[in-house]
Amino acid sequence: MPISAGDARRPEADDLLTRASRWTPVLLVAAAPLAAFAPVLSNGFVSYEDRFYILDNPLIRGLGPDALRAMLTATRGGLWQPLSWLSLAVDRSLWGTEAAGFHLTSLLLHAGTSVLFYLVCLRLLDGRRTAALLAALFFAVHPLRVESVAWASERKGLLSGFLFMAAVLAHLSGRGRTALAAFAASLAAKASALSLPPLLVVLDAWTARRRPTRKTLLALAPFFAVAAGALALAVLAGRASGTIVGPEHYGGARRASHVLYGLLFYPAKTLWPGNLSPFYPEPAWFAGRSWQLFACLAVLLAAAAALWRTRRSYPAVAAAFAAYAVMALPTAGFMHQGQFHAACDRYSYLSCLGFAVLFGAALGRGRARVLLAAAWLAALGSVSWRQCGVWRDSATLWSAASDRAPGLLARGELGAALLDAGETAEGIILLRAAIEDPAAPATVYVNLGAALANQGREAEARRVWRRGLAVAPSAELGALLGASLAGSDIRTATRLLEAALLAEPRRASWRVDLGDALARAGRGADARRQYDAALALEPGLGRAHNNLGLLLARGGETDSAVVHYRAALRDPASRVEAHHNLGNAHAAAGREREAERHYRAALRLDPAFTRSQVNLGNALARRGSFREAAALYRAALRTDPRAIEARANLGAIAPFLKNRVGGR
CA pair distance 380, 409, nearest whole angstrom: 28
Arithmetic mean of pLDDT, 622-646: 88
User: Please, which pLDDT band fits residue 15 given cuts at 50, 70 and 90?
Assistant: low
Arithmetic mean of pLDDT, 318-324: 93
What proportion of the chain, given as a percentage, has pLDDT over 70? 92
Give the model's pLDDT for residue 182: 97
User: Of residues 238 and 465, which shows the higher confidence score?
Assistant: 465
Three-state DSSP at 625 gives: strand
Residue 512 has pLDDT above 90, yes or no: yes
What proportion of the chain, given as a percentage, has pLDDT over 90? 58
- Residues, the chain: 664
Lowest mean pLDDT among 306-310, 338-342, 440-444: 338-342
- The domain total for the chain is 1
In single-letter form, the type of residue at position 297 comes to: L
Residue 108 has pLDDT above 90, yes or no: yes
Inside any domain, residue 519: no
Give the model's pLDDT for residue 245: 55
User: Of residues 426 and 29, which shows the higher confidence score?
Assistant: 29
Q: Is 268 left (phi over 0), alpha (psi -120 to 50) or beta?
A: alpha
Three-state DSSP at 337 gives: strand
Residue 270 has pLDDT above 50, yes or no: yes
Inside any domain, residue 342: yes
CA pair distance 178, 290, nearest whole angstrom: 47
What ranges in 125-249 are assigned the alpha helix state H?
129-141, 146-150, 155-172, 176-187, 196-208, 214-219, 221-241
Write out pLDDT tens, residues 491-505. 999 999 999 998 888
Torsions phi, psi of 244, nearest 5? -75, 125
Residue 472 has pLDDT above 90, yes or no: no
Helical pair 315-328 and 252-271, crossing angle rounded to 10 deg: 130
Give the model's pLDDT for residue 337: 58
The conformation of residue 51, written as its DSSP 8-state character, comes to I
Give the model's pLDDT for residue 8: 43
User: Please, which pLDDT band fits residue 662 given cuts at 50, 70 and 90?
Assistant: very low
Give the model's pLDDT for residue 14: 52
The conformation of residue 555, written as its DSSP 8-state character, comes to T
Give the model's pLDDT for residue 17: 45
Q: Which domain holds residue 358?
A: 21-394
Inside any domain, residue 340: yes
Residue 242 has pLDDT above 70, yes or no: no
User: Please, which pLDDT band fits residue 350 given cuts at 50, 70 and 90?
Assistant: very high
Give the model's pLDDT for residue 546: 94
Task: Report the mean per-residue pLDDT for the chain.
Answer: 88
Give the model's pLDDT for residue 6: 43
Q: Chain-centre distance of CA 256, in angstroms? A: 28
Residue 99 has pLDDT above 90, yes or no: yes
Q: Got the DSSP string for 23-43? A: HHHHHHHHHHHHHHTGGGGG-
Write out pLDDT tens, residues 561-598. 999 999 999 888 899 999 999 999 999 999 999 999 99
Give the model's pLDDT for residue 333: 65
CB 155 within 8 Å of CB 379? no
Residue 1 has pLDDT above 80, yes or no: no
Burial of residue 560 (CB within 10 Å: 0-12, 13-18, 19+) is middle
Paired with 280 in beta bridges are 343
Q: Chain-centre distance of CA 629, in angstroms? A: 48
